[in-house]
């Protein structure tokens, strides 16, 4: 019985010792691989972003000013034209004939008026000698005045006929890009037609309209005199164009609580297109010495935003931060960490405060610390 108890005690001690050995030999948790970047002070532009629409500065619907047949179309639809360039030629023969007729009538009336003036001078001399009555003299003067008025009307008719002949040649009133043609050679056009012959949009320069919250109106007005930069990027990506703020509306839209702005773009490369949707960025000023980290470093939690900061013992510790705003890929912080702190920008999902980390980009971190 004593031997059995001893064996049982020895077995119990061995089991306890084995369990203790297993507990002390448990391997530590593996380090979490992370990518880090250094918090730094830099100049960051203060920008307002908003969706916008491209619109031409001028749009002209070309209409005929005389009736006639389209004899020639001097451009191709979609072509960019210059101001004064010939677009359409309406058959000018009827208008040339009308001009010649008006000029002939003017010459006839001018001759009759000259003869009436001579009669007035003759009757004036005869009236002084009482060879004619005063009534005859007054009649001669009335006839001369009527002839003069007829000459004025004939002169106006000549000018109208000359103007109609000029209108037979339709020229571009502005420089711009033509749209689709609504007529073809041989078509009869009338001044009463509601459909324009073609529409021209001015694209150089061009405007971009966008709206920002009315809460930013004070900032916009403060920096408006500096012609702040506006950048426009096509929705979906593409080449960004640069322009300047040119217009601030004089009233706030009470329905949306926004203020309408317009920016002018040289558009020399023709990348901005009327009716195109873009993302507008209005840069008002530069925020000097702003504390920034990559926006991907900021994690949103139930208690607010925080970042993981790498400690000297290669552990990650959470620090609450307040994000003032974002600029492109950067988050501007209102304190919470110090410049030079290394923050985790990739791998946060596997981290908790106190986790060991393995930095995957030590070279980048070293260069950040040296700078």
How many domains in the chain? 3
Which percentage of the chain shows pLDDT scores above 90? 73
Lowest mean pLDDT among 126-135, 185-194, 253-262, 319-328: 126-135
Residue 369 has pLDDT above 50, yes or no: no
Q: Given this model, what pLDDT does residue 6 score?
A: 56
* 4 is a domain residue: no
Summarize the confidence of residues 133-153 as an average pLDDT.
90
pLDDT class of 277 with cuts at 50, 70, 90 = very high
For residue 281, the domain's CATH number is 2.40.30.170
For residue 296, the domain's CATH number is 2.40.420.20
pTM of this prediction? 0.72
- To the nearest whole number, what is the mean pLDDT of the chain? 89
Closest CA to 331 of 287, 280, 281, 283: 287
Residue 13 has pLDDT above 60, yes or no: no
Q: 349 and 230 in one domain?
A: no
Q: Which residues pair with 48 in a beta bridge?
A: 282
Q: Which of 241, 269, 288 is the last residue of a domain?
A: 288
- Summarised one tens digit per residue, pLDDT across range 205-237 is 999 999 999 999 999 999 999 999 999 999 988
Q: Given this model, what pLDDT does residue 367 score?
A: 40
Q: Which helix (H) or strand (E) holds 369?
A: helix 362-370
Closest CA to 347 of 294, 271, 276, 281: 294
Q: Given this model, what pLDDT does residue 183 score?
A: 95
Q: Give residue 366's Cα distance to chain centre.
A: 43
Alpha-carbon span 180 to 198, nearest angstrom: 6
Note down the domain range covering 277. 48-58+201-288
Residue 201 has pLDDT above 50, yes or no: yes
Summarize the confidence of residues 302-308 as an average pLDDT.
90
Query: How many other CB atoms are found less than 10 A from the CB of residue 178?
Result: 20
Q: 176 and 230 in one domain?
A: no
Alpha-carbon span 233 to 241, nearest angstrom: 7
Q: Which of 199, 217, 234 is the last residue of a domain?
A: 199
Q: 89 and 133 in one domain?
A: yes
Q: Regarding predicted confidence, which is higher, 360 or 153?
A: 153
Residue 257 has pLDDT above 80, yes or no: yes
Alpha-carbon span 1 to 228, nearest angstrom: 99
Residue 102 has pLDDT above 60, yes or no: yes
* 241 is a domain residue: yes
Summarize the confidence of residues 30-43 as an average pLDDT.
92
Q: Given this model, what pLDDT does residue 195 score?
A: 93
Alpha-carbon span 42 to 330, nearest angstrom: 11
CB 43 within 8 A of CB 157: no
Q: Given this model, what pLDDT does residue 371 score?
A: 42
Q: 240 and 302 in one domain?
A: no
Question: Could you write out the DSSP letters of every residue in 144-185?
Answer: HHHHHHHHHHHHHHHHHHHHHHHHTEEE-SS-EEE------T
Residue 292 has pLDDT above 60, yes or no: yes
Alpha-carbon span 152 to 148, nearest angstrom: 6
Q: Given this model, what pLDDT does residue 132 score?
A: 81
In 84-105, which positions are buried (b, 16+ CB within 10 angstroms) versus exposed (e)? eeebbbbebebbeebbeebbeb
């Amino acid at each position: 019985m004593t031997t059995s108890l001893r064996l049982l005690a020895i077995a119990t001690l061995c089991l306890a010792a084995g369990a203790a050995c297993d507990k002390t030999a448990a391997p530590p948790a593996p380090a979490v691989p992370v990518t880090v970047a250094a918090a730094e002070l830099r100049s960051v532009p203060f920008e307002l972003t908003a969706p916008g629409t491209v619109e031409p500065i001028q749009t002209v619907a070309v209409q005929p000013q005389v009736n006639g047949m389209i004899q020639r179309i001097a451009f191709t639809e979609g072509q960019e034209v210059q101001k004064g360039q010939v677009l359409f030629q309406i058959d000018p023969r009827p208008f040339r004939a009308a001009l010649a007729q008006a000029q002939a009538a003017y010459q006839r009336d001018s001759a009759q008026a000259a003869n009436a003036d001579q009669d007035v001078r003759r009757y004036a001399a005869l009236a002084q000698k009482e060879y004619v009555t005063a009534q005859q003299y007054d009649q001669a003067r009335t006839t001369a005045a009527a002839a003069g008025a007829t000459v004025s009307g004939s002169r106006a008719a000549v000018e109208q006929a000359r103007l109609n002949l000029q209108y037979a040649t339709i020229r571009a009133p502005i420089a711009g890009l033509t749209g689709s043609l609504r007529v073809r050679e041989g078509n009869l056009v009338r001044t009463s037609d509601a459909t324009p012959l073609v529409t021209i949009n001015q694209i150089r320069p061009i405007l971009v309209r966008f709206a920002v919250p009315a809460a930013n109106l004070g900032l916009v007005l403060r920096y408006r005199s500096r012609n702040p930069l506006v950048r426009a990027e096509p929705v979906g990506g593409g080449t960004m164009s640069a322009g300047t703020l040119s217009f601030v509306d004089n009233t706030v839209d009470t329905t949306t609580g926004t203020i309408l702005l317009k920016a002018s773009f040289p558009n020399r490369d023709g990348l901005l297109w009327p009716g195109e949707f873009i993302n507008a960025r209005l840069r008002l000023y530069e925020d000097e010495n702003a504390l920034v980290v990559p926006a991907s470093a900021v994690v949103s939690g139930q208690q607010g935003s925080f970042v993981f900061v790498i400690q000297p013992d290669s552990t990650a510790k959470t620090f609450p931060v307040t994000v003032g705003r974002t600029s492109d890929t950067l988050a501007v912080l209102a304190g919470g960490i110090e410049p030079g702190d290394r923050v985790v920008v990739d791998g946060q999902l596997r981290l908790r405060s106190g986790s060991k980390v393995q930095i995957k980009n030590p070279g980048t971190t070293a260069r950040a610390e040296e700078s």
